[in-house]
Chains A and B, each alone.
Chain A
């Protein structure tokens, strides 16, 4: 979001009047110079906030509302549960199909803390109003602009006000608001404000009506929500698509991620301008006090050291430091040895949760996840996490039996997987859907030598194969390449961390692939032997004129075969029992079942719309779906939900279509 740009544009232009030109006098210019309201600025520069085209606008509106809902729930310590409904809006006549419609109504409901009545208008109808900007803490939103920008976009395109219902507790009434922005003044205009009956005891519901376009596929609302579900397995998400489908993303982690802590900025991380501002704004009366109380990792000793180094008295009033002195101070700070910032302010998703997310949403044979130890770029602590989902899943393999190998005629080609891996990127748990190639995560994925891990990769390309690469950067301040928060800037420290994480994932994938290959060939060997044993035994029996204990010979031969093909080890590698030895934080899925840290998938209601009360929560623990693979038959096979969208690689795998055997029960 274009915080810096908005600010500079909004700043009074009179501080530094432009050089007068011959034709226009300074006085004339001066007459034209006036404050630009941020709202006006937005109207002209809506692309900066993600409203460049109708399709992206639809996504951005959903995204802002969902991000806020998740932030609010987490901050209030409530396990997030969010319902998103996107409907075709029409003016009376029968609505067009979703793919042709250009007007949509978006409703996002959370069961979070709610918003106090007085704040509602300003939150939804005043740009740059929020609770997250004035602090250094990991959260999805930062600027205090997201939801009001969406509201303004609605206002600009359809003229409809934002509708809000919010309630803070079962004892408090629910308030209904209709608000718009006064774009000149950047102040809310309230159209409606009343108490209503609301079935939810707590939470917030936002409704926006906008011009947009709904199209599945890359960078769609569907993809966004799916990716949210992957990175946030503690969230229960229900999505009513404009085509009338309902997609449920069940919760697989039943606890909140640890609360990220707020920290003060680290001296290495601030820019000169920021330092000036802090010097001006501080409540401290002395430089040393300012340094040690407004920054993290600056003890009074370090503060003294800085003052000495900069040859400024520690008792100087911070407000009086400017110009050259300030510059000297800035340089001295950068060259003083200061401890790295604390990293407990960051709350990574965690290996287990990433695994669950990937496993839940992406069909595959192998999953792994890595959370790197905290690192620092420019004074900002950050944590990189990476994950992999590899393969197409045993169901798919079984659905499509290997076609008999035929000699290929001229011009025919092995219709094989030359598809490339799919990179899914996150910053503070928010999926990044645009500008992939500008993103450090993408560059690091290209940089990694996947071939070392048994995956093919052409020069300068992503690895090939049915693979989803997950990268998450968690930080109090994620450096984006531009205000639109679409790509992570390519700092050396960041890229290095991403690569290390990807390499570890790759290494595990390599182990898995090699192991599976080995097991397969052993299995093939054993199969061959088993096949021929029968023949040999029969022939021997005939040779012996029928005087042969056939079963005995057969058993003896089978025993030898098993011994010679790796015995129980092969059984294991083929997925009958035991975890993926030597593969931490990984899940292996075979036709027989799942090994590793796989989550139990909660039962999901049939895919019809759940009427009325949508707040049906997950079933009590213990009532998990476990279908013994042995008993799988047609009736036990749950209906598959229609494929959620056209994405090829990360095929959404509805939880209920998953079957697994309890490990050890093979």
Chain B
């Protein structure tokens, strides 16, 4: 892919080579080579109220080579670091899957594979991201393109001008790396960004040219928004000063997606600084909406045990402690129901674009 800024990232390569240095210097001192890897779990994140984002704590786990339980993981980590360094040197980007294939082979004099599945290599990439404090983009690892954008926005991608008002209903497929080196925003006249959870709603809005009537940029990540989508929203927010509204299903997963966009993810908390949009607003679908918009009870779906547990967990998150959020979640729990955005079609097919969103925007009916 992009070749130009590669030499700039000598710093990342150095960090990767540092993994080898850890091994070499430990061996020199007859010590057990050990990597300290920041713990990627809820227990190791803090919420910075002032900045409104999740930050990674200081807890680290030791991954030692001469420990039967960790030896293989240690070896695998070094192999992944090696593959990532190779990418840096060759100035290529790649996918998680290709990293897996690149590092997979049979260990000499054995029948054992270095990796037996991608599920073994993926977490190691995240480990290296947090350990070396390098973003995945900086490591040249991309995710699948699964985000789409339309609206009054002009971009330059690999030298090609992309006018997002002229891409029909389909829109522009957001690449996974949207850093300024790769994508430049040349023009943006929109008033806000609407980040929609599901492709179906995004299609509805795009088809109805909602973006034109309300002068906004429509973004979707088809579920949990991928890094490219989050990063693009963040850039539009930061560089162009656009407010970001998040439209998700009314279920605990929807709340969680919103929180990731707003405060950052627990898993890669250290990236919050570049990804989180602390000022993003939750525009819906709220547990108060069925009442307010007169949706019949029978278009709701009963919360299952997993939903209930998840919701109860969310109630404990530091960033959901505001009263309005506690009310919001508790209301869902007490109703025992969740609602999909699609349920709005019960009213009529264009209820979302013609009634629901316009009223929300007019009433400034959102949660922060």
A residues near B, CB below 8 A? 524-525, 528-529, 531-532, 534-536, 539-544, 548, 553, 556-557, 559-561, 563-564
A-B contact count (CB 8 A): 82
Tell whether A525 pairs with B23 under 8 Å between CB atoms, given A532-B75, A532-B107, A543-B16. Answer: no
Q: How far is the CA of A529 from the CA of B33 in the complex (A)?
A: 12
A544→B72 contact, CB < 8 A: no
For the complex formed, measure the closest distance between the CB of A257 and the CB atoms of chain B, giving whole angstroms.
51
B43 lies within 8 A of chain A by Cβ: no
Could you say which of A531, A544, A559 contacts B107, with CB atoms under 8 Å apart?
A531
Q: Would you list 23 pairs from A and B whose C-beta atoms are within 8 A, ordered by A residue?
A: A525-B68, A528-B68, A528-B71, A529-B65, A529-B66, A532-B74, A534-B108, A536-B33, A536-B65, A536-B74, A536-B75, A539-B20, A539-B79, A540-B20, A542-B86, A543-B16, A548-B20, A553-B27, A556-B28, A557-B65, A560-B32, A564-B32, A564-B66
Q: Which of A525, A542, A557, A561 contacts B82 (CB 8 A)?
A: A542
B window 1-54: CB within 8 A of A: 16-17, 19-20, 23-24, 27-28, 30-33
Does B78 lie within 8 Å of A540, measured CB to CB? yes
* B65→A531 contact, CB < 8 A: no
Alpha-carbon gap, A548 to B86, bound state (A) = 17
B291 at the interface (CB under 8 A from A): no
Please name all residues of chain B whose beta carbon is closer than 8 Å to the beta carbon of A548 when the two chains form the complex.
20, 24
Q: Chain B interface secondary structure, helix, strand, loop or mixed?
A: helix
Report the 9 A-B pairs with minimum CB-CB distance, sorted nearest first.
Answer: A543-B20, A556-B27, A540-B20, A532-B75, A539-B82, A539-B78, A564-B66, A535-B75, A525-B68
B30–A528 CB distance below 8 A: no
Contacts of A536 in B (CB 8 A): 23, 33, 65, 74-75, 78
B81 sits at the interface (CB 8 A) = yes
Point out which of B28, B32, B78, B108 has the most chain A C-beta atoms below 10 A from its C-beta: B78
CB distance from A199 to the nearest CB of B (A): 60
Q: Does B112 contact A (CB under 8 A)?
A: yes
Query: What number of B residues sit within 8 Å (CB to CB) of A?
Result: 31
CB neighbours (8 Å) of A561 from chain B are 66
Residues of A within 8 A of B261 (CB): none
* CA A456 to CA B66, docked complex, whole Å: 33
Which chain B positions have C-beta within 8 A of A524?
68
The verdict on B109 contacting chain A, using a C-beta distance below 8 Å, is: yes
B348 on the interface (CB 8 Å rule)?
Answer: no
B30 touches A556 (CB 8 A): yes
Nearest A residue to B73, CB-CB = A532
Q: List, in ascending order, chain A residues with CB within 8 A of B108's CB.
A: 531, 534-535
B31 CB contacts on chain A under 8 angstroms: 560
CA–CA, A564 and B74, complex, Å: 16
Additional A-B contact list (13), CB under 8 Å, known A532-B72, A541-B20: A531-B108, A532-B71, A536-B75, A540-B24, A542-B82, A543-B19, A543-B20, A543-B81, A544-B17, A544-B24, A553-B24, A557-B65, A564-B32
Chain B residues within 8 Å of A553, by CB: 23-24, 27
Q: In the bound complex, how far is the Cα of B82 from the Cα of A131, in angstroms?
A: 88
**Residue pair A540, B107 in contact (C-beta under 8 Å):** no
Residue B114 CB within 8 A of the other chain: yes
**A472 → chain B closest CB, angstroms:** 45
CB distance from A481 to the nearest CB of B (A): 54
B85 part of interface (Cβ distance < 8 Å): yes
With A543-B81, A564-B66 given, is the CB distance from A529 to B71 under 8 Å?
yes
